[in-house]
Each structure stands twice: as C-alpha cells, then as structure tokens.
Amino acid sequence: MSASSPLNSAEQMVGEVSPHITVMLEEAVEGLAIKPNGIYVDGTFGRGGHSRKILEKLGSKGRLIALDRDLAAVSSAASIQDARFQIVHRHFAALEEVLAELGISAVDGVLLDLGISSPQIDIGERGFSFRFDGPLDMRMDQSSGQTAAEFVAVATEQKLAEVIKAYGEERFAKQIARAIVASRTGGHAITTTRQLAKVVASAVPKIEPGQDPATRTFQALRIFLNQELEELSLVLPQCLRMLAPQGRLSVISFHSLEDRIVKQFVKGEQDRDDLPSNFPVLAKDLPQPRMMAIGKAQKPSAAEVKKNPRSRSAVLRVAERTKVSL
C-alpha cells in the first residue's frame, strides 16, 4: 500500500472500494482436489470467490461450510442461494467447535486465504489503511474486541515497540513507539488513521522508495489486534485432526510471518523422525508422516500480478493428510 493524493470529504471516510479479486483462485481450489460429494471448509469467506469456485466443482451431495469473523463478509454471503452452502460468523480458530456443532466429524478439504480483503482495506471506516482518513479501528470483527485507537491510547512504550517490531518487522519500532506516547501525553490523542500515519512518518528517519513509512506499523497493529498469527497457529492442528485421510489443506499467505508458520507446521508433520541418525530403530518403527506437502510453494503468475498487484506477495502451500492414524 502507498499514500494517495488528497481525497474529497466523501472519499476520506469511505474510499473507493476496489472490485474484490480473489487471489490464486484456480490454484488454491485445484489444490483441494475436490471430490464431488465431499465436505469442504472455506475458513476465510471474504467475498466468496473461493467458495463459489468450490461450489462449481461440488456435486449435488457435496457440502461447503464457510467461516468469517467479519460481519460484512457474512452479510455478503446471502447472495449465495445454494442448499449445499452454509456460512457461520466465527473466526477460523473455532474450526473444530463449529464442525462439532454442525455434526461433522471429518472434512475432505480446508481452504484458508489469510490477511485482509480489498473491501476491508478500501473502506475508510474500517481503519485498516492510511490511504483514507477514518476511525482507527482495524478490527476484523467489529462486534467485539479492542480497537487500534484504544490500544495506542493505553499501551506502554515498551509494549508498542514490541508489537511494531514483532508483527511489522519494523526496524524503527522504538522511535515510532516513543512518538506515539509523546503525542498522547502531549494532549494529542490518536483516533484516526491519518493521525497515526502522520505520527509514524515523523518518527521514521529514512523512507524506503515506493513504501509509505506507516506500512509496517499498520500491518503490525492489525495482526496483533486480530491475533492473526496466534489463530493461524491454533487452526492448523485442527485442520489436521478434522481432515479425512487424503483430505487437502490449501493455504494462501501474504507475508513471511504467516508463510513461515504454515511451512513449519507442514514440515513438522511430514518429517516426524527427529531421532539421531544412528539411533537403533527399524525404519518401520519410525514415526510416519501425518501430512505431506503437495508440490512446492506457488506464487501468482505474472499475468495475475499485472491484473491484481495486491496478489504479488501471495504464497500458496498445499498439503495432504496421510492415512496414518493420529
């Protein structure tokens, strides 16, 4: 994301909502190897691009359960009038709980499209972007939780620095945290996106070409407030437990922190032999892989990136549950 030119008063609050283009649509759904009568989970419905593609491939007895914590996304799901489809307002870390409530003991595939969607970025009132002036919210589920404005108003300088460093990989985290605290103690509460972006810009001594100085700070606060990495770490073991043998997991990540968690999880389930190389044990007695990576990590095509620049950082990983008992 980058700073934009001045906007009129209406755009400052709402912004121009870009048409939502589902990232790696074909590749992610192909990775699921859809069985016509299977049961699938779209853990991140968004605006339904992946869900609609899955439904196209399902037979009359197939079933798709979609989850999303964003009420706007859940509301948009009403446009899908299909008896095989069901939307649930819940974050994906509640996967096992949701499936148990629905009486489902195993599924044939789970798709996760991580990060935020274009509508979330482009609507100023959501507070995810510094391109539009709006309330500093950043909650994916606006029905609960602490807003970014509430967090920056009370967090200690040390906590702010830790969050901005850990989740934004921002090398000027300490300077930014100091500037935020100085602003609020000086009687200037930070309640809007533009206010925060201005404070961050004043604290960053070096601006990287092509990137707004507030980019990493906004990313960090969003990931922290929505517990995105923690929820990802919680849902992956649930996916393994809920997948039927030969069931597929298809995950699209958008930055290294997410992708690292997915990569390490799959690798850990695939390479379960952590014994010393000379340990006296028969090959048949070694722990067998419970999940196997399918192919290598995929990136969007050059054509897709040209059509949708927001897809450029996407990484798709696909894995399959083996027949080994858990």
Task: Report whether 141 belongs to an annotated binding site.
Answer: no
Residue 304 has pLDDT above 90, yes or no: yes
Question: Would you say 50 is a known binding-site residue?
Answer: yes
pLDDT tens-digit series, residues 235-292? 999 999 999 999 999 999 999 999 999 999 999 999 876 655 566 665 555 678 999 9
Query: d(Cα 42, Cα 56) in Å, to the nearest integer?
Result: 14
Among candidates 26, 48, 29, 118, which has minimal Cα distance to 310?
Answer: 118
Residue 120, marked binder: yes
Annotation-wise, does 212 bind a ligand? no
pLDDT per residue as tens digits for the range 160-219:
999 999 999 999 999 999 999 999 999 999 999 999 999 999 999 877 777 889 999 999
Domain hosting residue 188, numbered range: 142-225
Q: Tell whether 259 is in a known binding site.
A: no
What is the Cα–Cα distance from 223 to 116, expressed in whole angstroms? 10
Same domain, 86 and 60: yes
Angle at 71 between CA 239 and CA 148, to 5 degrees: 90
CATH number at residue 239: 3.40.50.150
- CA 272 → CA 106, 265, 267, 280, distances in Å? 23, 11, 8, 16
pLDDT at 132: 83
Q: Is 209 exposed, middle or buried (0-12, 13-18, 19+ CB in 10 A)?
A: exposed
49 marked as part of a ligand binding site? yes
Helices 193-203 and 215-225: crossing angle in degrees, nearest 10, is: 120
Report which of 140, 143, 139, 142 is spatially closest to residue 151, judged by C-alpha positions: 139
Report the length, in residues, of the chain: 326
pLDDT tens across 24-73, in order?
999 999 999 999 999 999 999 999 999 999 999 999 999 999 999 999 99
Number of compact structural domains in the chain: 2
In a domain, 147, yes or no: yes
- Contact call for residues 270 and 293 (beta carbons, < 8 A): yes
Is residue 1 within 8 Å of 132, Cβ to Cβ? Answer: no
Q: Which of 173, 191, 225 is the last residue of a domain?
A: 225
Establish whether 70 is an annotated binding residue.
no
CATH at 181: 1.10.150.170
Q: What whole-number distance in Å separates Cα of residue 85 and Cα of residue 40?
A: 10
